[in-house]
Amino acid sequence: MPTPGIHEEAGIASAHAGLIMLDGPNGIAITLTASAAEGTGLSLLRAAELAREQLEKGQTQDFAED
């Protein structure tokens, strides 16, 4: 069972008037410039690759509760 606050649904990005709108689950929304969206996308791809490597190594412990 997923930890509350961790989403399994992908966000949807769209471009409007030179800005990027990213809509995610549970009403999460953010507006980015093209440069910020590109940097965020690259960072997400790198993090997803690392997360998959961690899962392959059995590193599946959730984030610590604050």
The helix (H) or strand (E) run that includes residue 52 is helix 34-56
Instruction: Find, among 13, 20, 15, 47, the residue nearest to 36 by Cα.
Output: 20
pLDDT tens per residue, range 22-49: 999 888 999 999 999 999 999 999 999 9
**Mean model confidence pLDDT for the chain:** 90
Confidence band for 4, pLDDT divided at 50, 70 and 90: confident
Q: What pTM was estimated for this model as a whole?
A: 0.78
How confident is residue 65, by pLDDT bands cut at 50, 70 and 90?
Answer: low
3-class DSSP state of 22: strand
Percent of the chain at pLDDT above 90?
71
User: CA–CA separation, 15 vs 11, rounded Å?
Assistant: 13
Q: Return phi, psi of residue 51, to 5°.
A: -65, -40
